[in-house]
């Protein structure tokens, strides 16, 4: 949510790439996925977040090209296909299969009922019935796909038809091993190659002195966690030893996309709470332009920075300010969210458990900071109108409303944080203060 400002970016990227110089993928031209890795190696390591999305897009296209002879490509385009799970052997932890999720055509019976329901509400039905009958036959063909070379897919379909979930969901899961043995082998080998070469454990090891997770954090970690703007993210070390560093969150989860396990722009220095709140949430989605995009704000994408947006609101601001000024009592503070926030911002607030709507009540970490907000608002209490008047007379000998306003603005500038993303809760406090000063 808060953009990470980088210094000497070019040098950092060079250093990062140089460190992984040794990475090589066995140039096996028979495996299109290994060829894919080799082609994209540098962009995977130091490509921008947008580049990472392009790589995912290309990967799915590559998968579909490889499945042209099997029904997978008939049932979906690459935008409706996702890898959702890497399946492992319980004991050896070796990858045994890769699970896909496909958006499956809605069963014809359900589609027909849905259309008829809508039709019943209309008087002129003939034209729509025509469209429906022209649509029905290709759909029927698709559903009753009889010449499938793979029995296993039919088995799944039959099974799903018999179960209730199929009628409720429009998704179908499929394993690489059920599609084609050589496709399965090639895909699994690519995943194994990723895990071996893009090795995060090796990168994060303390033994690794030259360029490591520690060095990366020292170079890029902001003062405060870029996801929550709450917790500090310092690196504590001296010449001999490294003591602690922020956690590195894999923005694109490495459990599904291990090719991004050591990618420079995919390693986000963050606090423990954020790294664990997000877990292995799949942050990739298809947007309204049929392109892959991120569901959450990316700390390395400048336009995702929320610093200059208004996000938080203070409920019953007038009462809150009055209680502070007139009674010097602890006001009852309720933080709300601005209406019509971008979905990406709302998703981020929810993913990091910062603020989400639960049973019509805002919950999350940001709703447990009333003490900090009230302390910050109390600064206003120290400059009530009477004090401003006195100051004004002292400075200008006469009290005019213009002078008061300019003094107020001066004070607000002093109170407000100019660099809120480098101050714990800076954004929350700034937004609340901005509202409160309207009631001076
Ligand atoms: Zn955090």
HSE value, Cβ hemisphere, 13 Å, CA-based, for 197:
22
Q: Residue 403: which pLDDT band, with cuts at 50, 70 and 90?
A: confident
Least confident among 122-126, 180-184, 400-404, 411-415 = 122-126
Task: Tell me the domain boundaries of the chain.
Answer: 9-95+183-302, 105-169, 312-439
Range with top average pLDDT, 18-32, 36-50, 288-302: 36-50
User: 254: CA distance to ligand 1 center in Å?
Assistant: 19
How many angstroms is it from 228 CA to the middle of ligand 1?
4
CA of 224 to the centre of ligand 1 (A): 8
Q: Residue 343 Cα, ligand 1 centroid: separation in angstroms?
A: 19
- What is the predicted pLDDT for the residue at 164? 37
* Cα–ligand 1 centroid distance for 178 (angstroms): 41
Which tens digits make up the pLDDT trace of 114-171?
556 655 665 555 655 555 555 555 445 444 443 333 345 555 455 445 443 333 445 6
State the CB neighbour count (10 A cutoff) for residue 198: 23
Judge whether residue 364 has pLDDT over 50. Answer: yes
CA of residue 278 to ligand 1 center, whole Å: 10
Average of pLDDT values for 50-74?
Answer: 80
pLDDT per residue over 171-228, tens digit each?
A: 667 788 888 888 899 999 999 999 999 999 999 987 777 889 999 999 999 999 999 9
Q: 308 is written with which tokens?
A: 């200059």
Q: 277 alpha carbon to ligand 1 midpoint, in Å? A: 9
* Alpha carbon distance 30, 34 (integer Å): 8
pLDDT, residue 79, reads 62
Work out the percent of the chain whose per-residue pLDDT is above 70: 76
* d(CA 364, ligand 1 centre) in Å: 13
Distance 163 CA to ligand 1 centre (A): 42
Q: Which residues are CB-neighbours of 388 under 8 A, at least 6 positions away?
A: 404, 407, 408, 411
Mean of pLDDT over the chain:
81
Q: What's the 206 CA to ligand 1 centre distance in angstroms?
A: 23
- Provide the 8-state DSSP code for 175: E
Answer whether residue 428 shows pLDDT above 90.
Answer: yes
Please state which of the ranges 58-72, 153-167, 306-320, 376-390 shows the lowest mean pLDDT.
Answer: 153-167
Q: Is the pLDDT of residue 238 over 60?
A: yes
CA of residue 341 to ligand 1 center, whole Å: 20
Ligand 1 centroid, distance to 21 Cα (angstroms):
32
Report CA(275)–ligand 1 centroid distance (Å). Answer: 7
Ligand 1 center–CA 362 separation, angstroms: 19
What distance in angstroms lies between residue 248's CA and the mean position of ligand 1's atoms? Answer: 11
CA–centroid distance, residue 53 to ligand 1 (Å): 24
In eight-state DSSP terms, residue 232 is B
Q: How far apart are CA 117 and CA 373, in angstroms?
A: 53
Residue closest to 45 by CA, chosen among 12, 22, 24, 16: 16
Lowest mean pLDDT among 21-35, 225-239, 284-298, 379-393: 379-393
Best-predicted range by mean pLDDT (132-146, 265-279, 363-377): 265-279
Q: 6 alpha carbon to ligand 1 midpoint, in Å?
A: 19
- CA 369 to centroid of ligand 1, rounded, Å: 14
pTM of the model: 0.80
pLDDT of residue 169: 43
Instruction: Pick 437 or 106 by higher pLDDT.
Output: 437
Looking at residues 255-279, what average pLDDT do you find? 95
Average pLDDT score over residue span 410-439: 83
């Amino acid at each position: 949510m808060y953009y990470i400002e980088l210094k000497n970016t070019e040098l950092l990227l060079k250093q990062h790439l140089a460190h992984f110089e040794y990475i090589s993928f066995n140039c096996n031209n028979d495996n299109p996925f290994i060829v894919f890795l080799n082609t994209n190696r540098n962009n995977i390591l130091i490509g921008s977040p947008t580049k990472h999305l392009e790589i995912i897009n290309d990967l799915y296209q590559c998968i579909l090209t490889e499945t042209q002879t099997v029904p997978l490509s008939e049932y979906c385009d690459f935008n409706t296909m996702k890898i959702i799970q890497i399946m492992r052997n319980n004991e050896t932890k070796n990858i045994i299969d890769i699970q896909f999720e496909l958006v499956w055509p809605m069963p014809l019976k359900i589609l027909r009922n849905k259309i008829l329901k809508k039709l019943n509400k209309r008087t002129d039905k003939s034209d729509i019935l025509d469209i429906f009958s022209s649509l029905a036959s290709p759909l029927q063909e698709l559903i009753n796909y009889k010449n499938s070379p793979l029995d296993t897919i039919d088995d799944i379909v039959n099974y799903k038809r018999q179960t209730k979930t199929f009628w409720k969901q429009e998704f179908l899961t499929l394993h690489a091993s059920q599609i084609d043995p050589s496709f399965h082998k090639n895909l699994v080998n690519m995943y194994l190659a990723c895990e071996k070469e893009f090795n995060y454990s090796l990168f994060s090891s303390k033994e690794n002195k030259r360029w490591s997770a520690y060095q990366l954090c020292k170079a890029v970690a902001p003062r405060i966690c870029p996801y929550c703007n709450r917790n500090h993210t310092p690196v504590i070390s001296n010449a001999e030893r490294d003591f602690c560093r922020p956690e590195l969150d894999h923005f694109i989860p490495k459990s599904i996309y291990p090719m991004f396990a050591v990618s420079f722009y995919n390693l986000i220095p963050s606090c423990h709470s954020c790294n664990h709140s997000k877990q292995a949430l799949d942050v990739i989605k298809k947007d309204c332009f049929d392109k892959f995009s991120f569901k959450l704000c990316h700390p390395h994408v400048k336009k995702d920075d929320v610093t200059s947006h208004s996000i938080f609101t203070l409920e019953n601001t007038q009462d809150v300010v009055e209680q502070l000024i007139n009674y010097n009592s602890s006001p009852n503070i309720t933080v709300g969210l601005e209406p019509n926030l971008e979905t990406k911002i709302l998703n981020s607030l929810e993913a990091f458990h910062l603020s989400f709507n639960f049973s019509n009540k805002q919950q999350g970490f940001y709703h447990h900071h009333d003490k900090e907000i009230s302390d910050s608002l109390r600064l206003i209490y120290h400059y009530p109108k009477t004090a401003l008047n006195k100051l004004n007379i002292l400075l200008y000998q006469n009290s005019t409303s213009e002078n008061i306003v300019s003094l107020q603005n001066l004070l607000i500038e002093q109170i407000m944080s100019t660099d809120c993303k480098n101050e714990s809760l800076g954004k929350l406090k700034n937004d609340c203060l901005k509202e409160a000063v309207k009631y001076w």
